[in-house]
Amino acid sequence: MSKKVYIESYGCQMNHSDSEIVASILTKDGYTTAATAEEADLVLLNTCSIREKAEYTVMQRINEMNALKAKKRGMKVGVLGCMAERMREDLLVKKKVVDLVVGPDAYRSLPLLLDEVESGQKAVNVLLSREETYAEIEPVRLDSNGVTAFVTIMRGCDNMCAFCVVPFTRGRERSRDPHSIVEECKQLVAKGYREVTLLGQNVDSYKWTEKELLANGQQPVANDLGSVDFADLLSMVAEVSPALRVRYSTSHPKDMTDRVLVVMARYANICKYVHLPVQSGSSEVLKRMNRGYTREWYLERIASIRKHMPGAAISTDIITGFCGETEEDHQQTLSLMEEVRFDMAFMFKYSERPKTLAARKYPDDVPEEVKSRRLQEVIAKLNSTAGDLRRNAVGEERVVLVEGESKRSAEFMYGRDDQYTTVIVPRGSGATEIKAGDFVRVRILSGTAASLKGEVIAVIPYPAAMEPLSIA
């Protein structure tokens, strides 16, 4: 009987994708995946350190797993991901609660480490790497809808934003071989997937050079310089199939080039959606955050997106109450939001993280209640502008990729349009019934801040060219 592993993922999409790499490595080692912790011989928690709350949630879960372990003889518990390096002492030595701690660059060593665990030892590998990209490992898709998939194109981050723990938990930035990325996308198309999202902490600094190509015995493919940047990669992936939708995340305002925008505008199958984290609308705060751009620079990047793709959707990340943020700084964030009118935003209170530049240099001096009040104001601002945008969509036609059944009712299906907005449509019946993986043309009938409702006008035959997706 093969052993069963249950993997639970916290944090960003990158972490969820890493779990699919872990599942692949363990499947080759003879494991099968379990749907619940109760059924599993090995429970792995793939953890996140981005805010204190994320770590707290994981610690609670580790305690629950230990209660389960006490009842189930032989069950092992491991911690993967971003908390591994920071918490290994605590988890393995002080609290003695977990059997295994493995950092984001050390997943290939899992089979060996599990052997150690089997022989009754505690096992750990939290070494970070300058090269590891798991390029050739074909992920085992977990919780997949069979329609959309995530493809990691680079790992780590070299930016050193003052608030951010990622450079410490995930190490230096490195780009994955473009051939292996294109190959993975082709495989996905062959399996019936209709959309890929290319993932990286800062996709705009994707860079694969000829030196690396030649070292791998390959020829340069994309341009005369013998190097592949993000704009090149994006067009290579868009060329895989006109009926494969392409998205990506995340851009950095200091690095986002017009070339990328030109490529986005050129290909009908690249979604007209940009996630561009601003963090703050105050140039003073941005400077302390070490973001490498000003308010004016950010607004110029937004103008450029709108120039190249007039209907594009733009979303962002915002932090309230960063060290030294004044009421005036906060007002500048609100006014920037008013000016840009984001379609969506992830909004957070600042949470000090160990080792970061901010933790070392600046006092965390905005009181908790002020952080909370500012966060509420930022959320209210987003809801007012995003609500307008959704309401304005009423009467428009959108192309929607159907992802599955609506959680609220089996009579409805949900999917996303080109701008990443969730759209709910009736399932229909008989000859007109729609299914996951269909591209459908939808007339929008109503909208809220979070989603749109519509009626299906037509199913777009697959694999017809994606021409109807073009909104320019």
- At 151, list the tokens: 């493809």
Query: Should residue 347 be labelled a site residue for ligand SF4 when binding is judged by CB under 6 A?
Result: no
Instruction: CB nearer to ligand SF4: give 249 or 419.
Output: 249
Instruction: CB nearer to ligand SF4: give 18 or 232.
Output: 18
Instruction: CB nearer to ligand SF4: give 82 or 400.
Output: 82
**Roughly what angle, to the nearest 10 degrees, separates helices 178-190 and 230-238?**
20
Select from 14, 162, 278, 402 the one that contacts ligand SF4 (CB under 6 A). 14
Q: Distance between CA atoms of 31 and 23, rounded to whole angstroms? A: 8
Could you write out the three-class secondary structure of the chain?
Answer: CCCEEEEEECCCHHHHHHHHHHHHHHHHCCCEECCCCCCCCEEEEEECCCCHHHHHHHHHHHHHHHHHHHHCCCCEEEEEECCHHHHHHHHHHHCCCCCEEECCCCHHHHHHHHHHHHCCCCEEECCCCCCCCCCCCCCCCCCCCCCEEEEECEECCCCCCCCCCHHHHHCCCEECCHHHHHHHHHHHHHCCCCEEEEECCCHHHCEECHHHHHHCCCCCCCCCCCCEEHHHHHHHHHCCCCCCEEEEECCCCCCCCHHHHHHHHHCCCECCEEECCCECCCHHHHHHCCCCCCHHHHHHHHHHHHHHCCCCEEEEEEEECCCCCCHHHHHHHHHHHHHHCCCEEEEEECCCCCCCHHHHHCCCCCCHHHHHHHHHHHHHHHHHHHHHHHHHCCCCEEEEEEEEECCCCCCEEEEEECCCCEEEEECCCHHHCCCCCCEEEEEEEEECCCEEEEEEEEEECCCCCCHHHCCC
319 binds, among ligand 5AD, ligand SF4, none (CB under 5 to 8 A by kind): ligand 5AD
Query: Should residue 12 be labelled a site residue for ligand SF4 when binding is judged by CB under 6 A?
Result: yes
Residues 35-54 that bind ligand SF4 (CB under 6 A): 48-50
Quick count: other Cβ atoms within 10 Å of Cβ 33?
Answer: 16
Query: Should residue 15 be labelled a site residue for ligand SF4 when binding is judged by CB under 6 A?
Result: yes
Q: Distance between CA atoms of 376 and 349, rounded to whole angstroms? A: 10
Query: Should residue 82 be labelled a site residue for ligand SF4 when binding is judged by CB under 6 A?
Result: yes
49 binds, among ligand SF4, ligand 5AD, none (CB under 5 to 8 A by kind): ligand SF4
Instruction: CB nearer to ligand SF4: give 48 or 423.
Output: 48
In whole angstroms, the minimum distance from the beta carbon of 307 to ligand 5AD comes to: 25
In whole angstroms, the minimum distance from the beta carbon of 104 to ligand SF4 comes to: 7
Query: Should residue 11 be labelled a site residue for ligand SF4 when binding is judged by CB under 6 A?
Result: yes
- From residue 303, alpha-carbon distances to 129, 257, 346 in Å are 38, 13, 21
Q: Distance between CA atoms of 341 and 305, rounded to whole angstroms? A: 13
48 binds, among ligand 5AD, ligand SF4, none (CB under 5 to 8 A by kind): ligand SF4
Instruction: CB nearer to ligand 5AD: give 5 or 82.
Output: 82
348 binds, among ligand SF4, ligand 5AD, none (CB under 5 to 8 A by kind): ligand 5AD
351 binds, among ligand SF4, ligand 5AD, none (CB under 5 to 8 A by kind): ligand 5AD
Instruction: CB nearer to ligand 5AD: give 19 or 356.
Output: 356
Query: Should residue 319 be labelled a site residue for ligand SF4 when binding is judged by CB under 6 A?
Result: no
Instruction: CB nearer to ligand SF4: give 12 or 213.
Output: 12
Instruction: CB nearer to ligand 5AD: give 81 or 277.
Output: 277
In whole angstroms, the minimum distance from the beta carbon of 89 to ligand 5AD comes to: 22
Report yes or no: 298 and 292 within 8 Å, Cβ to Cβ.
no
In whole angstroms, the minimum distance from the beta carbon of 316 to ligand SF4 comes to: 16
Query: Should residue 169 be labelled a site residue for ligand SF4 when binding is judged by CB under 6 A?
Result: yes
277 binds, among ligand SF4, ligand 5AD, none (CB under 5 to 8 A by kind): ligand 5AD
Query: Should residue 312 be labelled a site residue for ligand SF4 when binding is judged by CB under 6 A?
Result: no
Instruction: CB nearer to ligand SF4: give 51 or 69.
Output: 51
Report yes or no: 174 and 133 within 8 Å, Cβ to Cβ.
yes
Q: Distance between CA atoms of 66 and 59, rounded to whole angstroms? A: 11
In whole angstroms, the minimum distance from the beta carbon of 448 to ligand SF4 comes to: 27
Residue nearest to ligand 5AD (CB): 317
Judged by CB under 6 A, the stretch of 6-14, 121-129, 136-144, 259-267 that binds ligand SF4 is 6-14
Q: How far is CA 289 from the centre of its chain?
A: 22
In whole angstroms, the minimum distance from the beta carbon of 127 to ligand SF4 comes to: 16
124 binds, among ligand 5AD, ligand SF4, none (CB under 5 to 8 A by kind): none
Give me the residues that bind ligand 5AD (CB under 6 A), please: 50-51, 163-164, 277, 279, 317, 319, 348, 350-351, 353
Instruction: CB nearer to ligand SF4: give 85 or 343.
Output: 85
Judged by CB under 6 A, the stretch of 87-95, 110-118, 164-172, 190-198 that binds ligand SF4 is 164-172
Which residues of the shown chain bind ligand SF4 in the complex (CB under 6 A)?
A: 11-12, 14-15, 48-50, 81-82, 165-166, 169-170
